[in-house]
Amino acid sequence: ETGVTQTPRHLVMGMTNKKSLKCEQHLGHNAMYWYKQSAKKPLELMFVYNFKEQTENNSVPSRFSPECPNSSHLFLHLHTLQPEDSALYLCASSQQKGRVLAGGPITYNEQFFGPGTRLTVL
Amino acid sequence: DQQVKQNSPSLSVQEGRISILNCDYTNSMFDYFLWYKKYPAEGPTFLISISSIKDKNEDGRFTVFLNKSAKHLSLHIVPSQPGDSAVYFCAARYGGATNKLIFGTGTLLAVQP
C-alpha cells in the first residue's frame, strides 16, 4: 500500500449505530488530519494531530471522536450521528518540517489526501 | 463567511488552449496558497503551491500567480489536455505554527477534445 488509505470507502449507518472510520498513511508523515466535505460546500477541517497529539478541534460536535494511536494511523469514531452528518470524510497527512528560522513559524509540506469515506446516515 | 472563494463553479476549455482558474481570499494572514485537483471517487491531489512572498510559481504546464494587493490568485494550465478535466480546489494556509488549510468550493474544469 502506498500513500494514504481509508476504510471503508462507503458506509451507511443508522442514527443509533456506532462505527469507526480508519485512515493509514504510508508516507512517514508526522501530522494527520480529518476533513469533512458536504455537498456544494468546501472541505472543512475537523481535527489535526501532530506527533499523535491533537492540536486542532474545529468546533466539531462530540458525536465525532478522533483517535490517533500512532503517527501512521488515525480513526474517527462515530456515534449517534444525524442525517446532516452525511458527507465525504477525507483523511490527510503531511510532514512537519520544523522551524526554518529560530523563533520562526513551523513549516509543513503539502497535505496528501486519502480517497475518502462516503458516509450516509439514515 | 467564506475566506477563500472560487466564484466559477465550472469552466469549459478546448484542448490545447489555456485554462485559467481563479480564487479570491479575504484574510491577509494567509502565508501559503495551494491548488489541489480532484477526480471523482478519489481524494484531492496536490498540484502546485505558492508562498505569499512570491508572485509566480511555475511547474511544467501549471503556473500559479498571486496578486496580494488584490487578494487574488489564479492557476494557468497551458496547453490544456482532456486528462486535466477535474475539480480544482484553491486552499490557503494561516501563517504561524498551524497547518490549517481553508479550502474554496472548487471549480469543475472540462477540457473538450
Segment A29-86, tens digit of pLDDT: 999 999 999 988 899 999 999 887 888 888 899 999 999 999 899 999 999 999 999 9
- B76 pLDDT more than 90: yes
Q: Which pLDDT belongs to residue A106?
A: 56
Per-residue pLDDT averaged across A92-103, rounded?
70
What's the CA angle centered on B89, arms A38 and B41, to 5 degrees?
60
B9, closest residue in chain A (CA to CA): A40
- A116 pLDDT more than 70: yes
Q: Which pLDDT belongs to residue A59?
A: 87
CB contact under 8 A, A90 and B102: no
Give the pLDDT confidence of B6-35 residue by residue, as tens digits: 999 999 999 999 999 999 999 988 989 999
Task: Give the three-class secondary structure for A24.
Answer: strand
Per-residue pLDDT averaged across A84-112, rounded?
77
CB contact under 8 A, B102 and A48: no
